[in-house]
Amino acid sequence: MTKLYEISNEYTAVMDAIEQLFDAHPELDEASKRAILEENLAGVQQSFDDKAFALGGLIQNLKFEHSNVKELQDRFTKRAKGLEKTIGQLSDYLLAQMQAVNRPKLSNAWLTLQIRTNPCRVIIEDETLLGDEFKQQETIIKINKTAIGEQLKSGASVPYAHLEQSQRLEIK
Residue range 86-105: average pLDDT?
A: 95
Res. 172: pLDDT tops 80: no
Residue 37 covered by a domain: yes
DSSP helix/strand/coil, 101: coil
Residue 35 covered by a domain: yes
- Half-sphere exposure of 117 toward its Cβ, with a 13 Å CA cutoff? 2
- Half-sphere exposure of 39 toward its Cβ, with a 13 Å CA cutoff? 7
Residue 156 covered by a domain: no
- Residue-wise pLDDT for 138-159, tens only, equals 999 999 999 999 999 999 999 9
Closest CA to 21 of 41, 49, 2: 41
DSSP helix/strand/coil, 35: helix
Residue 167 covered by a domain: no
- The reported pTM is 0.57
Residue 171 covered by a domain: no
Residue 95 covered by a domain: yes
Residue 153 covered by a domain: no
* Rg, C-alpha atoms of the chain: 35
pLDDT level of residue 87 (50, 70, 90 thresholds): very high
Predicted pLDDT of residue 48: 84
Q: In the chain, how many domains are there?
A: 1
Residue 138 covered by a domain: no
- Residue-wise pLDDT for 36-74, tens only, equals 888 888 878 888 888 889 888 889 999 999 999 999 999
- Domain residue limits at 8: 4-123
Mean pLDDT taken over the chain: 90
